[in-house]
């Protein structure tokens, strides 16, 4: 207690309390500062993510393709890393260019046809809407006004696109300027992230050594095994899950495109890309991509929508029970409830990044807590194991067994204490004394 209350700890506690009060009084400025700092680091964060994902094909090239290169020649050995990085990025750019040449033209045609047919689809939507409202009014006698509902919907959509002051030309110009600025910033961050990812990938061994040196220098030695364990579990849960999830999403999008093309459904390329991109999001991904796609097909032909829904349900069932377990494996180890919980909480806190990374990050936390709980239960022995089994759960029995264990321990401690001070006698000594007394009485 005296050690805890020394002057250094008191000063640290006072400084921390003052810091919390400062944040409380200036929370908006503090949050704005953090946001600005994160925006500066955005290219580095995206570049690190790219490098982490590309590390898997890089290791394949480094260990398998160029693994034997330079065993007898030091010059070729020094070039092995360079060749692996060039091959990795060449493979990625080849895949991207192939997708652009094959998929983008079809997507452009799909989007062009969709924009061209918007008036027809709007008429179909209005007709279906009239039929639904008439049925509701005739069935439930609600008296809904269709014209008022259309005016409210149009006003809402216009405000959503242009802002509240949609009648002000300056507000519209400002909106367009903001969109252009955001697009330019996003393009700059993307290009810089690619360049930074190359530096991350080429210097990963040096960066890892520097991180280890910092950890050993500033983290107490007794906490280092736990830190290394957290890093290892994070790599397993987050890294491999993320890479596997991207591969699985690309495969599902391609499968949807092929299947829709076989059934001659419209907008196969566009819908395949939508399904593939949204399938990265756990749990909600199929609904986010499937509902608007089904709605587009419904406006064209309700029969096409029914066929698409059947195709999507079958593919998602195959994905959940066959494809994803083979590609990802049991890297997450979470039940459906905790996946839903992690997606909702992650999305609410961090937006789209939270939707994608919420599940693997929560899996890390869940794994660490589960391991701690298991160790705690094992340390309590048989009683704790019986308490986990609801069929034999009996609080009175457990309490009685605990009482017996305490009494046995107390009795053992008393016996040890008696022997230590020379007051205790064993059962054999008592029996010998009793036999000696009996012999004496017999002789008399």
Tell me the three state secondary structure of residue 250. Answer: helix
Mean predicted confidence (pLDDT) in 360-374 = 86
Mean predicted confidence (pLDDT) in 324-348 = 76
Angle between helices 118-140 and 74-116 (to 10 degrees): 60
Residue 28 pLDDT greater than 80, yes or no: no
Which pLDDT belongs to residue 310? 94
Q: Which of 334 and 410 is assigned the larger pLDDT? A: 410
User: Using one digit for the tens of pLDDT, what is the confidence trace for 143-166?
Assistant: 776 666 666 766 665 565 555 544
User: Using one digit for the tens of pLDDT, what is the confidence trace for 106-129?
Assistant: 888 888 888 888 888 878 877 887
Confidence at 313, pLDDT banded by 50, 70, 90: very high
Residue 27 pLDDT greater than 80, yes or no: no
Mean predicted confidence (pLDDT) in 330-339 = 71
Which pLDDT belongs to residue 226? 86
User: Using one digit for the tens of pLDDT, what is the confidence trace for 52-92?
Assistant: 889 888 988 988 888 787 677 777 777 888 899 999 999 99
- Alpha carbon separation from 120 to 25, 108, 288 (Å, rounded): 56, 19, 24
Among 244-258, 323-337, 400-414, name the one with the lowest average pLDDT.
323-337
In 178-288, beta strands by DSSP E? none
Contact (CB, 8 A) for 296 and 274: no
Which pLDDT belongs to residue 411? 85
Q: Which of 313 and 349 is assigned the larger pLDDT? A: 313
Which pLDDT belongs to residue 443? 45
User: What's the mean pLDDT when you consider all of the chain?
Assistant: 79
Q: How far apart are CA 88 and CA 201, in angstroms?
A: 10
Contact (CB, 8 A) for 363 and 334: yes
């Amino acid at each position: 207690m005296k050690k805890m209350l020394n002057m250094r700890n008191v000063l640290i506690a006072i400084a921390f309390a003052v810091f919390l009060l400062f944040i409380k009084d200036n929370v908006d400025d503090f949050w704005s500062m953090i946001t600005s700092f994160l925006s500066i680091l955005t290219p580095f964060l995206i570049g690190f993510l790219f490098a982490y994902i590309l590390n898997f094909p890089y290791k394949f090239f480094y260990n398998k393709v160029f693994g034997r290169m330079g065993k007898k020649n030091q010059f070729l050995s020094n070039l092995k890393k360079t060749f692996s990085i060039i091959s990795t990025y060449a493979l990625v750019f080849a895949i991207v260019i192939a997708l652009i040449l094959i998929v983008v033209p079809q997507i452009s045609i799909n989007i062009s046809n969709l924009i061209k047919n918007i008036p027809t689809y709007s008429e179909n939507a209005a007709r279906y809407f009239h039929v639904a409202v008439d049925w509701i009014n005739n069935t439930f006698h609600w008296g809904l006004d269709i014209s008022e509902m259309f005016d409210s919907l149009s006003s809402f959509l216009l405000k959503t696109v242009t802002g509240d002051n949609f009648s002000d030309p300056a507000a519209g110009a400002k909106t367009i300027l903001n969109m252009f600025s955001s697009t330019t910033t996003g393009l700059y961050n993307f290009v810089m992230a690619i360049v930074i990812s190359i530096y991350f990938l080429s210097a990963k061994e040096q960066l890892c050594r520097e991180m280890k040196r910092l950890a050993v220098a500033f983290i107490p030695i007794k906490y280092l095994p736990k830190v290394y364990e957290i890093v290892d579990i994070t790599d397993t849960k987050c890294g491999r899950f993320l890479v596997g999830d991207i591969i699985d999403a690309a495969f599902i999008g391609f499968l949807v495109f092929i299947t829709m093309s076989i059934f001659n459904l419209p907008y196969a390329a566009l819908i395949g890309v939508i399904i593939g991109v949204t399938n990265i999001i756990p749990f909600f991904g199929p609904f986010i991509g499937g509902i608007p796609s089904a709605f587009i097909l419904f406006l064209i032909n309700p029969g096409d929508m029914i066929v698409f829904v059947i195709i999507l349900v079958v593919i998602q069932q195959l994905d959940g029970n066959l494809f994803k377990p083979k590609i990802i494996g049991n890297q997450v180890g979470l039940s459906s409830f905790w996946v839903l919980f992690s997606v909702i909480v992650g999305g609410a806190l961090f937006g789209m990044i939270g939707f994608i990374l919420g599940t693997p990050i929560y899996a890390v936390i869940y794994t660490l807590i589960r391991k701690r709980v298991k160790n705690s239960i094992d340390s309590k022995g048989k009683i704790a194991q019986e308490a986990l089994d609801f069929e034999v759960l009996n609080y009175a029995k457990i309490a009685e067994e605990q009482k017996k264990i305490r009494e046995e321990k107390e009795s053992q401690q008393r016996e040890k204490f008696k022997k230590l001070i020379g007051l205790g006698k064993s059962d054999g000594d008592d029996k010998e004394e009793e036999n000696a007394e009996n012999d004496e009485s017999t002789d008399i």
